[in-house]
Amino acid sequence: MKIDSTPLKEGQLPFDKEVVRKAALDLTESVESWKKGKLYKYTLDPENCTNDPKCEVQTYGQTIGGDYWLCRRSFHNINPENYRKVVEVLNGSQWDASLEKWVMPDIAARSKLEQEYIETLSKCHVVRQVTDDCDNDEFDNFGWVLVNLEYELGKPLTTREFNEWVCPLIPTSKTGDNGSTVETSVVVSLVADEETRDPVHHTHAYYASVEQLKYDYSNHVLEWTMCTSSDAGGNVPKWIQNATIARTVAKDVPYLLGWMNKRGD
């Protein structure tokens, strides 16, 4: 499986969750070999959901198969309860205390929440869900969500419209040699080969990404990684986009951590 800028029809989507997971982890694990970019430093909202007053976000860049990829990675001290709330927002899985396991009753849950914490996202349409019933149970649904997104990047730029296939994978845990349990979840977004809803007033854009949350229960440290390849389309040169995207994705980190508290979590 390739994660790149190629637009995909529904029939081209992979429905083996382990294939999807491996492709996502292969990408995030390769980041250490990428070119290191700028380190962004932020002072966090005093009431943020972590135990940290500040955070650092390291960026990386790499060209893979003709696509420019940008990655941000950050580490956060956060207790298990708040970590699970972050997973619910960014991944869509829910922690069932009675079962003592993660469940995912709605694979579109995280897509429905995005508009609340992404400032430039003005509209999110969940178009349809495509699942493999043979690989699902009542606690762990697996499949792809087709979403149509509208972003407002500011005047004089027109509304950017994206079509994406989104696949959230429930957290899985692994016990290391030292006995510590590390839990990892990922969300994969691929470019959807779908028509633009408003081709007259909107500019077609694309976005592919992998978002990973890795939590070590022994030291309560969350590693948050996001890799993305995108093109805002229009008349904005690609080199300008590549030069500015790092700052854009880095500031998502302090914003989300502060927003969690404002949300009531």
Which span out of 149-158, 161-170, 191-200, 234-243 was modeled with the highest average pLDDT?
A: 161-170
Res 231 pLDDT > 70: yes
* Domain limits for position 47: 10-262
Res 240 pLDDT > 90: no
Q: Is 29 helix (H, G, I), strand (E, B) or coil?
A: helix
Res 135 pLDDT > 60: no
Rounded CA-CA distance 38/34 in Å is 13
Rounded CA-CA distance 152/136 in Å is 36
In a domain, 1, yes or no: no
E-only strand ranges, 27-175: 35-43, 54-64, 67-77, 94-96, 101-103, 121-131, 143-151, 159-175
Number of domains in the chain: 1
Res 72 pLDDT > 90: yes
Cβ count near 124 (within 10 Å): 18
Res 242 pLDDT > 90: no
Summarize pLDDT for 140-156 with one digit per residue, the tens. Answer: 789 999 999 999 877 77
Res 134 pLDDT > 60: no
Task: Kindly state the average pLDDT of the residues 229-253.
Answer: 85
In a domain, 2, yes or no: no
pTM listed for this prediction: 0.93
Res 265 pLDDT > 80: no
Q: What is the CATH number of the domain that holds 175?
A: 3.30.530.20
In a domain, 4, yes or no: no
Euclidean distance between the first and the last CA atom of the chain, given in angstroms as a whole number: 36
In a domain, 188, yes or no: yes
Q: How far is CA 81 from CA 87, 122, 216, in A?
A: 10, 30, 13
In a domain, 3, yes or no: no
Res 84 pLDDT > 60: yes
In a domain, 189, yes or no: yes
In a domain, 228, yes or no: yes
Q: How far is CA 97 from CA 93, 103, 179, 248, in A?
A: 13, 10, 22, 36
Summarize pLDDT for 207-219 with one digit per residue, the tens. Answer: 999 999 999 999 9
Summarize pLDDT for 12-45 with one digit per residue, the tens. Answer: 999 999 999 999 999 999 999 999 999 999 999 9
Task: Kindly state the average pLDDT of the residues 105-124.
Answer: 92
